[in-house]
Amino acid sequence: MSFEQLVFYAFAAIAAFAGLMVITVRNPVKAALWLVLAFVSTAAVWILAEAEFLGLVLILVYVGAVLVLFLFVVMMLDINLAEMKEGFARYLPIGVLVSLVVFGLIYMVVGPEHFGLAQFKPVEHGPDYSNTKEIAVPLYTQHAYAFVLAAVLLLVGIVAAIALTLRRRPPSEALYQDIDAQVRVRAEDRLTMVKMPAEVEPDLPENKEEEEGAK
């Protein structure tokens, strides 16, 4: 077994196990963290297949941003675990049936006779091969319109999400901070320096006597 194979099987096993844990673990925060592990090990497998751009972007986008936001939401939920366990036995038969069908379908498509190192020899690339360039060139030439369209769709999604959650209440109901005005404030607007002569308190007579006594 070569080192590459060892690494592949290790990460593949971790990914499969983590995927299993995502759907079996009861605590949603833990499920999200298992999903993180699944993503990271999948990224490792991709990098092993010389798709380093996809692997690193998977970590950067999904692990570094999307799942953090996911966790953000899930952590704030108050989840009743007993309620979630309800109905497990009732839905078990149909769940098993569906999973068997899906497994059968996947087995038919990517079973051992259609898939594996024997059918797909790993493509050897020279040291100058850049996966990033390989993706970038068709993306910005052949598929430029589709790419721009996807970007516009995402933008619409962002606008929609903001429009749905934005709720500007009248100033009588809520106080808003105008940060721009706050930032523009200078010390001169808030603070007045007043020059005044120093006041010297005259010494009290008792103090004088004490001082003289000390002498």
Partner 1 sequence: MFATLQHWLSGWMWDWLAVLITLLIQAVVVILPIMIAVAYLTYAERKVIAYMQVRMGPNRVGPYGLLQPIADAVKLMFKEVVLPTQSNVYLFLIAPILAIAPAIAVWAVVPFAPGWVVTDIDAGVLYVLAIASITVYGVVVSGWASNSKYAFLGGLRSSAQKISYEIAMGFALVTVLMVADTMNLTKIVEGQQGGIWHWYLIPLLPMFVVYFISGVAETNRAPFDIAEGESEIVAGFHVEYSGMAFAVFFLAEYAMMILISYMTSIMFLGGWLSPFEGIPLLETLFAWVPPFFWLAAKVAFLLFVFLWFRATFPRYRYDQLMRLGWKVFIPLTIVWVFVVMLMHYFKVGPWFN
Which residues are at the interface with partner 1 (CB under 8 A)? 1-3, 6, 29-30, 33, 36, 40, 52-53, 56-57, 59-60, 63-65, 68-69, 71-72, 75-76, 130-132, 177, 179, 182-183
Range 158-197 burial, b when 16+ CB lie within 10 A, else e: eeeeeeeeeeeeeeeeeeeeeeeeeeeeeeeeeeeeeeee
At residue 12, φ and ψ (nearest 5 deg) are -65, -40
CA atoms within 13 A on the CB side of 205: 0
Nearer Cβ to partner 1 (1/109): 1
Nearer Cβ to partner 1 (24/119): 24
Q: How far is the CB of 79 from partner 1 (least distance, A)?
A: 13
Nearer Cβ to partner 1 (145/176): 176
Nearer Cβ to partner 1 (79/108): 79
| CA 175 from centroid of its chain's CA atoms | 31
Q: How far is the CB of 173 from partner 1 (least distance, A)?
A: 19
